[in-house]
Amino acid sequence: MKKALTTLCLLLVLAQVGCLTTQQGTGVGALGGSAAGAGVGAALGNWGLGALIGAGIGALSGAVVQDQLDKKRQKREIQELEEAKGPSTEVQAPSTSGKTFVEGHYEYVKKRKWIDTSEKERVWVDERVEGDRRIEGHYEDRVIPSGYWEEHEEKVWVPDHYE
């Protein structure tokens, strides 16, 4: 009698733990499994051990079943939300029919770069009169523009694309 009472208390604890996780299938599976395990255990002579093993197996199988049901329900809700939104406004990729796929590769590209060789030159400016102002002679820095284009090749990665 003491074994039966202990087993019953353990089964109630397992059932409550299963329900606390919001997966009712776990608690139901634990109760059903413990009942089936107790029956099998009674036939074999140790119904308490059978009830404990059955409760564990029932709890696991109940959790798995409940998880699958939750996933189906979530998928159905997402589908209903998408249908409620109306027609999809997705932008489709352009058709690649009739185009050739080119794998990524390196290409050498010719580039030009301006090389500035301008120089400053110090120049003497003579005395002069502008309007009613007299400007004394002085040195002035002037830039003499010069330079050239330098051509070079640069290695550039071209990603996969269609031509």
**Residue 142 in this model has a pLDDT that exceeds 80:** yes
Q: Are residues 17 and 56 in the same domain?
A: yes
Residue at 32: amino acid letter:
G
pLDDT (average), residues 103-114: 92
d(CA 132, CA 130): 6
pLDDT at 22: 47
In a domain, 26, yes or no: yes
In the chain, the number of structural domains is 2
Please indicate, yes or no, if residue 44 is contained in any of the structural domains.
yes
> Are 111 and 80 part of one and the same domain?
no
What pLDDT shows up at residue 89? 56
pLDDT of residue 86: 64
Give domain status of residue 75, yes or no.
Answer: yes
* 62 and 24, same domain (yes or no): yes
- Pairwise CA distance, residues 29 & 13, whole Å: 13
Same domain, yes or no: 80 and 110 = no
The DSSP element (H or E) to which 107 belongs, if any, is: strand 105-116
- Is the per-residue pLDDT at 153 higher than 60? yes
pLDDT at 151 over 70: yes
- Report which of 107, 99, 3, 102 is spatially closest to residue 45, judged by C-alpha positions: 3
142 within domain boundaries: yes
pTM, two decimal places: 0.34
pLDDT of residue 28: 65
Residues 10 and 49 in one domain: yes
pLDDT of res. 149: 93
Write down the number of H helices and E strands in the chain. Answer: 3, 8
Q: Which domain holds residue 70?
A: 2-85
The stretch 125-150 carries a mean pLDDT of 93
- Beta-strand relationship, 101-102 and 161-162: antiparallel
Listed residue (70, 61, 53) closest to 18, CA to CA: 61
Q: Are residues 33 and 64 in the same domain?
A: yes
Distance CA 43, CA 127 (A): 128
Same domain, 70 and 112: no
